Amino acid sequence: MRTYELMTIHRPEMAEADFRARVDEIGALLTAREATPSDTELWGKRRFAYEINHGNEGYYSVISFETDSADVLSDL
């Protein structure tokens, strides 16, 4: 099995509870696709180094997971 990391950035206007729920949904999706999530880091709301889609900040998370298939996220 190989180890991968998936970083996500969520909109800053979300409530923190909604952000955590979305990260949990991603973990469940990985599990459903036969990946094994090993660690989830919630970095919270951070400022971007530069503007992205007219935004300056967002909620960051990093999910580490193991899988045999590199295309576990290919159709998302």
pLDDT for res 1: 85
Q: In which element (H, E) is residue 5 found?
A: strand 2-10
Kindly list the distances between the CA atom of residue 14 and the CA atoms of 17, 27, 38, 70, in Å, as whole numbers in the listed order: 8, 19, 25, 30
Going by pLDDT thresholds of 50, 70 and 90, the confidence category of residue 72 is confident
Query: Using CA atoms, how far apart are residues 44 and 12, in angstroms rounded to an integer?
Result: 10
Per-chain mean pLDDT for the chain: 91
Does position 69 have pLDDT exceeding 80, yes or no?
no
β-strand partners of 8 = 61
